Structure 1
Amino acid sequence: MSGVELIATATFGLEAIVAQEVKDLGYQNVLVENGKVTFTADLSAICRANLWLRTADRVRLKVGEFKATTFDELFEKTKALPWPELIPANANFPVEGKSIKSTLFSVSDCQAIVKKAVVESMKNKYNQQWFEEQGPVFKIEVALLKDMATLTIDTTGPGLHKRGYRRLASKAPIKETLAAAMILLARWHPDTTLLDPFCGSGTIPIEAALIGQNIAPGMNREFVSEKWPSIPRELWRQARKETHDLANYDQPLEIMGTDIDDEVVKIARNNALEAEVGEHIHLQRMSFTEISSKKKYGKIICNPPYGERLGELRAIEKMYQEMGKAFSKLDTWSFYILSSNPRFENLFGKPATKKRKLYNGDIKVDYYQYFGPRPPKRRDGEPRADRE
């Protein structure tokens, strides 16, 4: 295994952000489709993509793609793929699947057929009839979309949002990948003040600190493909060394997070310490109605409560009105707010400069972006990155 084709899976609405991250890693031939970004690279890309991608869900190794309208076709074409070149004889290779608008709609049958085909392929190579599957994990996925079957192997393990720092969480924590995407979409720069007045367990401030100091989100966790014999340990060593070499721990940051719940703020502090960015984030108990700043320019990036039940909804809508009044005090700042309420702009009292459709888990949301006035140029003559 030398040159590889990889798929970085993405939550709906984040594909372009993931694609830009892939390009920023130096990889070309990037294809963007719904829910995924495909690219070709060398073997080290498995290591680097897992360590560096902030907004992708996971990284899959693409084994093959073909049309399949019958189970026989699925079996034969799967069997013909180079499984023994990828999977060792002692591997644990479970199969999962999904089928959308395809003739082969029974996911369980498709999984069983793919499993059988892979076993048959490996029997021929390894000259054995039984595989104990006690070794490294190579989780195979068969994904059928409009009769096109895509066969991949997961290189990540637990999803990329599992950074490892969030040991404790508030009631409805935002995924780390979505939080990172919100910050990237806001074009926040580390020399700009950032405030999250609904910080919860601290995910947005922590992700901002990681971005601000160029700390790889996967630096302190492990990946299932680290145990694959086909990827030399030296590639992982070099990739991890790169994360340390490129981290800018001396970058000063002004990041603040507040929440009305004192216990939640304590959780946020613990998570920030786990992420090793605690000294760069100021966290305190405060109502969003009390927010103020001596800084003329800054960005509020937040994910306030949605309130899906009727009684809660009324309280949330009142909160949005109060947010509009409270945020207006920072009239030279920019605001980036995630909400599932279609009336948000009316309640907030101002139409957004721009909005983007996203998903927070299974909830359809809009990312409302309010651009403040452009700050003056920095001393080096470059404009500050306070606007999109």
Structure 2
Amino acid sequence: MTADTVASLAFQPAQRVRAIGVSEILRITDNANALKRAGRPVIVLGAGEPDFDTPQNVREAAVRAIGRGDTRYTVLDGSPAMKAAVQLKFKRDNALDFALDEISVSAGAKQVIFNALMASLNPGDEVILPAPYWTSYADIVQICGGVPVPVACTGENGFRLDAAQLEAAITPRTRWLFINSPSNPTGAAYSAAQLKPLCEVLLRHPQVWVLADDIYEHILYDGLAFATPVAVEPRLRERTLTINGVSKAYAMTGWRVGYGAGPRALIAAMAVVQSQTTSCPSSISQAAAIEALTGPQDVVAERCADFQARRDFVVAALNRAPGLHCRVPEGAFYTFASCAGVLGKRTRGGALLQTDSDFCRYLLQDFEVAVVPGSVFGLAPYFRISYATSMAQLEEACARIIAACAALE
């Protein structure tokens, strides 16, 4: 067999995934954890995962489900009991009424997004992504044959999309607009008053659907009232998919349960996609999620207060670091700080910091703190910190970041 023959027989990835890699956030986290295993005292502030345990009542509900033998397939896109719990949540928290066949339950909110885009995008359809955005958005759009259209939303505008930007980004090929509030990576949130002008633009463009990613709904600070597009403008209901899940508010990332509510035709098409991928979500995870959504909610507010205290500490610390600037995020558990003031400086080893990636690499290699560059999320020069970790870890990490900035020449 010749070398040319061997080369021709080598695996060739499909065109749809050639330009897409494993999540950069996961790669950075994996590299940092490898350094920790090698004995270095690295503090990892990369992962978007609460450090709390899943609430005890939720875990007990899963155990009871196992004891009852609820270990078989459920209805394809969520058991009737799970959908009823989602229905209750939307009515209680958002004053939105959805029928059970307007609800889809999947193995995480990410799968809900994937199902929706796979079910609706044709090749070349455009999806508007206010940047910075969660990295998976753009990759899922591309896998599903669409074209991501990032729109830069700077810190001067609170990292929020405004009506003029939205109007300018819409073309005849636009199929979806994504709204993530509170946001990953910035923690920025939209009030009802800030969503209203966007809704007015959308009413003039009936071909554009709205994907509202509300996964951080319950992690909102300073008394700000949560707002979601279809509640602000009910006339958008027939072209809005509202997505949420139990991962963030209830510290259930590993249980893999997300859900969405929207028009029946879209939900039915999403079920077709899910039928050929994962089938139903885990029956045990659904039992746990039912308890999370319908059981006592006190723990959600308690943990939100804890996150707010961490936010306040991290923002104040970053603003003490020479060359850094951090706005106060309204929600989620991230800060998105500008590092423009340190670019152009050199490390003591002589390395020139030219990009936010250079700065993040410097923090990890020289000061053993792992953070994620803003360029990964579509906007530079910034970096994201996840403060979903202990206050002791945050205190040490922020001290190292301040020292790292002070050490630059």
Structure with greater helix share of residues = 2
TM-score by length of 2: 0.26
Please report the TM-score for the alignment, with normalisation by the length of structure 1: 0.27
Q: Rg bigger for which structure?
A: 1
More strand by share: 1
